[in-house]
């Protein structure tokens, strides 16, 4: 894998209809770190993530990689919907990107990733036979299979029960280490467990405020005293 780049938003503006989402927004996403983005629904988090991934062009300003190379082809995306192909098995959905590109399929690796997300026994299952949480785990395995230096994730664990969610946070924290990751969540505990950097988005047009992260390496323990204290501080900030 090529070294992960920083991503810079330089004077970015974006409107949603007649309403401004962003005005002259400057932001640097650190290379090889996990940046967690929080904020109320409708404030513009997903639009910002889509701009970072090149899915939405800003009305003005620009989004550039810190190494000067195009971001196209270096980004893996996991949206709020799992976007599994209904006629493909879980295994084939994990390898979907490689199949579409005409790359060699590594079924052994896909199988190991399904085992990592607890779905090795469902490799041949169709999405319609899986629960929402299981489908979300297949989508996570697909992102991990892509092995990209930049990973963008929009509420990737929202459909999971609390125990599975904690396990998938652990997995993502370990396996995405060293990549440039931006993760949207509404869960302050998740943010405090996974973030190297935390940003709270608020206002119209939106502003971004940095939030202190707990000490310790990602993924931090769910019962770590620093994590629990930071969760309380963050939740109070989010309620203001």
For the entire predicted model, the pTM comes to: 0.95
Q: Are residues 67 and 112 in the same domain?
A: no
The answer to whether position 167 is within a domain reads no
74 with 54: CB under 8 angstroms? no
The answer to whether position 170 is within a domain reads no
Please give the chain's pLDDT, 240 residues, in tens.
678 999 999 999 999 887 889 999 999 999 999 999 999 998 999 999 999 999 999 999 999 999 999 998 999 999 989 999 999 999 999 999 999 999 999 999 999 999 999 999 999 999 999 999 999 999 999 999 999 999 999 999 998 999 999 999 999 999 999 999 999 999 999 999 999 999 999 988 999 999 999 999 999 999 999 999 999 999 999 998
Q: Which residues contact 49 (CB under 8 A, 6 or more apart)?
A: 37, 152, 154, 182, 184
- Number of domains into which the chain is organized: 2
Domain span at 220: 1-74+151-161+177-240
Closest among 32, 21, 97, 36 to 65, alpha carbons compared: 32
* CATH number, domain containing residue 187: 3.40.50.300
Closest among 164, 216, 152, 218 to 191, alpha carbons compared: 218
The answer to whether position 223 is within a domain reads yes
Quote the CA–CA distance of 39 and 187 in Å, as a whole number: 10
The answer to whether position 65 is within a domain reads yes
Q: Are residues 239 and 124 in the same domain?
A: no
Q: Are residues 51 and 93 in the same domain?
A: no
Quote the CA–CA distance of 177 and 213 in Å, as a whole number: 16
């Amino acid at each position: 894998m090529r070294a992960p780049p920083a991503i810079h938003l330089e004077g970015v503006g974006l409107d949603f209809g007649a309403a401004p989402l962003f005005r002259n927004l400057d932001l640097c996403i650190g290379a090889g770190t996990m940046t967690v983005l929080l904020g109320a629904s409708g404030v513009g988090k997903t639009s910002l993530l889509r701009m970072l991934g090149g899915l939405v062009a800003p009305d003005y300003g620009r989004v550039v990689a810190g190494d000067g190379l195009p971001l196209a082809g270096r980004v893996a995306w996991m949206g709020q919907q799992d976007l599994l192909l209904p006629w493909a098995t879980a295994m084939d959905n994990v390898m979907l990107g490689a199949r579409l590109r005409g790359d060699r399929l590594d079924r052994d690796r896909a199988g190991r990733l399904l085992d990592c997300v607890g779905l090795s026994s469902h490799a041949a299952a169709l999405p319609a036979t899986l629960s929402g949480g299981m489908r979300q785990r297949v989508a996570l395995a697909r992102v991990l299979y892509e092995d990209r230096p930049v990973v963008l994730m929009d509420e990737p664990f929202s459909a999971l029960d609390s125990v599975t969610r904690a396990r998938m946070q652990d997995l993502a924290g370990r396996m995405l280490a060293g990549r440039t990751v931006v993760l949207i969540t509404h869960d302050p505990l998740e943010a405090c467990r996974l973030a190297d950097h935390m940003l709270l988005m608020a206002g119209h047009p939106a502003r971004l405020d940095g939030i202190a992260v707990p000490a310790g390496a990602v993924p931090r323990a769910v019962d770590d005293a620093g994590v629990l204290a930071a969760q309380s501080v963050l939740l109070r900030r989010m309620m203001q």
